[in-house]
Amino acid sequence: MEKPIKILITGYFNSGKSTLIRSLDPDAIVIEKHMRSAYSEDKTQTTTGFDLGRIAWLRPKIGSESIGELVSESDYEKQKETYVDYIVKKVELKGVPGKMHFSIIRSILAKGCDGVIFLIDGCEMDHIKNSIEILKETKNYLDKDIPLKIIANKSDKEGYLGRVKISSLIQEDVLEASVKTKRGIIEAITSILEQILRKNTS
């Protein structure tokens, strides 16, 4: 049986990693604990182990230029007969804890990944420095040919810093997206999946 494509979802604390995974797979495994004091009204828990989501990337065999669609693995299994004429790739999304002291856990969980989605909280200027540190850390333990996409999340919120400013601050090109509304997320993930396929077939 073909092995699933493994994508690491990483980034600093409160960047939207667990939300991204659960938005694509409502049945995802999420290992969190309640924080002693809530970070915000929306943030009362934090990842202490890992998150694991399973999705399927579905592309029609005819019209292969389509980016296709992403559905949870459980939804795909329920509607398999609908996708007989589709190219199907199983994908695992592995989220890691974002607080600075979890660096060893991040390095262990990154092993064997085929690609990386790096999330940045696009509304928190104070988080940028830590995001840069975790991005450097991530690049240090990954092979140089592993595809990586950097996403400035929370573009739907007031106070969003903007793609251009965040790109300038971290000295890297970033994509603009909102995990909650899924704006830009499907495109980012399918883009990295296409890169992985090209790399694996070259």
The H-or-E segment that residue 56 falls in is: strand 45-60
| pLDDT confidence tier of residue 101, bands split at 50, 70 and 90 | confident
pLDDT tens profile 15-69: 999 999 999 999 999 875 544 444 445 544 554 568 999 999 999 887 656 788 9
CATH architecture of structural domain 5-201? 3-Layer(aba) Sandwich (3.40)
The DSSP bridge pattern shows strands 115-121 and 29-34 to be unpaired
pLDDT tens profile 151-173: 999 999 999 999 999 999 999 99
State how far the Cα of 10 lies from the Cα of 135, in Å rounded to an integer.
9
Amino acid code (one letter) for 8: L
Question: Is the pTM here over 0.75, yes or no?
Answer: yes
Of 157, 154, 146, residue with least CA distance to 199: 146
Report residue 73: phi and psi, to 5°: -60, -35
- Count CB neighbours of 180 within 10 A: 17
Listed by start position, the domains of the chain span 5-201
